[in-house]
Amino acid sequence: MASEIRLESRDAGRVAVVTIDRPHRRNACDLAAWRDLRDIFRGFAQDRGLRLAVLTGAQGHFCAGDDILAFREALSDPARADAYRAVIQECFAAVQAAPVPVIAAMRGVCVGGGASLALCCDFRVGDGSARVSVPVARLGLVYPTVQLQRLSQLIGVSQTRRWLYTGEFVDAAAAHQAGFIDALHDDPVAGALAFGADMMDNAPLSIAGSKLQLNAISAGTLVEDAARIQALSDQANQSEDYRNAATAFAEKRKPVFVGR
């Protein structure tokens, strides 16, 4: 069966556009889609030429979260259900850990697990049709703590309470005002590419290090991640990019970074 997650390379491999292509379910993901999405984002760690990733959904919607019908089938077997949930969390972790800036390009619904996906991105660009909801209170569920932490850091505790307690849809203008959406654009993919353009020519090791640090600060894992942060910092300090940047500064020209 062909994957319902599409990967498009642009700008000579410097940009990856990842599209959830399940329009019959408003791009809600089943197990195969979560797994494919996870594997694509994990693969970005080995792509030295990549500078920016955009995550979007096909045919007018970003992502309606987990495919409830598909997950319902897994509930009959507790072990299978746990394995299903684990893949979803691995997908979220892979999106967040990608070493390049990741921008969600949002149209239509961004609900539940779709909102979690968007939260795992570095930034979010939406058009006027974008609608965000975390409907756990309407489903009798409890939002995972790690996602709640990300949401409350982004929009504040008071607004997070309202979003979760009501489960209401928040329109694009309100989501932008709250800080969930970073920018509004009539074409979210084009807007995401424009939003990330100034980041693409900067040093990849520096951006990867900043992401690692900021993710650790957000999750409260600075102690656990200290060795990885130091290793990446040391790599940047000894890199060809740093030497080239120093030379470019002395020569009053723009440096060209290659990621090593």
Nearest to 85 by CA among 35, 154, 23, 148: 35
Mean pLDDT, rounded, of the chain? 93
**Sign of dihedral through CA atoms 221, 43, 33, 13?**
positive
Confidence grade of residue 212 (pLDDT, cut at 50, 70, 90)? very high
Instruction: Specify the pairing of strand 170-171 against strand 52-57.
Output: unpaired
Nearest to 151 by CA among 131, 108, 180: 180
Q: Which amino acid is residue 12, in one-letter code? A: A
The answer to which of 94-98, 126-130, 140-144, 225-229 has the lowest mean pLDDT is: 140-144
Residue keyed to tokens 């410097």: 14
CA–CA separation, 61 vs 52, rounded Å? Answer: 21
**pLDDT computed for residue 250 by the predictor:** 74
**pLDDT computed for residue 40 by the predictor:** 98
Higher local confidence (pLDDT), 126 or 74: 126
**Does pLDDT of 248 surpass 80?**
no
List beta partners, residue 106: 126
**pLDDT computed for residue 201 by the predictor:** 92
pLDDT per residue as tens digits for the range 43-66: 999 999 999 999 999 999 999 999
Q: What is the 3-state secondary structure (H, E, C) of the chain?
A: CCCCEEEEEEHHHCEEEEEECCHHHCCCECHHHHHHHHHHHHHHHHCCCCCEEEEEECCCCCECCECHHHHHHHCCCHHHHHHHHHHHHHHHHHHHHCCCCEEEEECCEEECHHHHHHHHCCEEEECCCCEEECCHHHHCCCCCHHHHHHHHHHHCHHHHHHHHHHCCCEEHHHHHHHCCCCEECCCHHHHHHHHHHHHCCCCHHHHHHHHHHHHHHHHCCCCCCHHHHHHHHHHHHCCHHHHHHHHHHHCCCCCCCCCC
**pLDDT computed for residue 251 by the predictor:** 67
Q: Taking the model in full, what pTM does it have?
A: 0.95
Q: Do residues 10 and 17 make contact, with C-beta atoms less than 8 angstroms apart?
A: yes
pLDDT per residue as tens digits for the range 111-125: 999 999 999 999 999
**Does pLDDT of 224 surpass 90?**
yes
